[in-house]
Amino acid sequence: MLLNRNPVLLCYLWTGAVGLAAAEGAGISGASRIIGVDLVSSRFELAKKFGVNEFVNPKDHDKPVQQVIAEMTNGGVDRAVECTGSIQAMISAFECVHDGWGVAVLVGVPNKDDAFKTHPMNLLNERTLKGTFYGNYKPRTDLPNVVEKYMKGELELGKFITHTIPFSEINKAFDYMLKGESIRCIIRMEE
């Protein structure tokens, strides 16, 4: 649940389907500012369709992204959602939440050898760090609600599909993914 005081959500490196879904969910939940962070600025235009209204590319700044976000938000965001699996993105997401009430949720799956390192004061300052696996989604109870929202037109799932290709061109799907040019690619089995 977001705070009642004009909540700010940061979706850290959000431009994949998971991050964009998190951004859209933040908007549905009442976030007034949704800040997207990504290393590829060309993705920002697409993110607007999912409710992202501010953008930061860490490569455009000479200081750590957590400092940039703190300055933009007068101390940090209320909620940060990391969706990359990059350990540095996870640490940055946690370090950019506001002291006293900020919550960082780690969604991405890190490399098995990665270690999460931050200064202990980040915890002592009453920031919260959480993790989730599949968004704590419970298909039996949650899926009917998602279907109902889709049927009512409250969820636009089609905007996640950026490419459709025949199976014979499956390698294009991998190229789109590796270049960061697609969100979801549908592969048609028939030619």
- Average pLDDT for consecutive 10-residue bins of the chain (191 residues)? 54 72 87 89 87 92 94 91 91 93 92 93 92 83 90 89 93 88 88 65
Residue type, 20: L
162 and 72 belong to one structural domain: no
Cα separation of 81 and 100, whole Å?
A: 17
86 and 171 belong to one structural domain: no
CATH assignment at residue 86 = 3.40.50.720
pLDDT of amino acid 1: 44
Which of 126, 134, 140, 119 is CA-nearest to residue 98? 126
Judge whether 30 and 47 are in contact, CB under 8 Å. no
Domain boundary among 98, 114, 136: 136
Domain span at 88: 8-136
143 and 131 belong to one structural domain: no
pLDDT of amino acid 165: 94
Sheet of 79-82, strand order: 54-56, 33-37, 8-12, 79-82, 103-106, 128-131
pLDDT of amino acid 3: 45
pLDDT of amino acid 28: 84
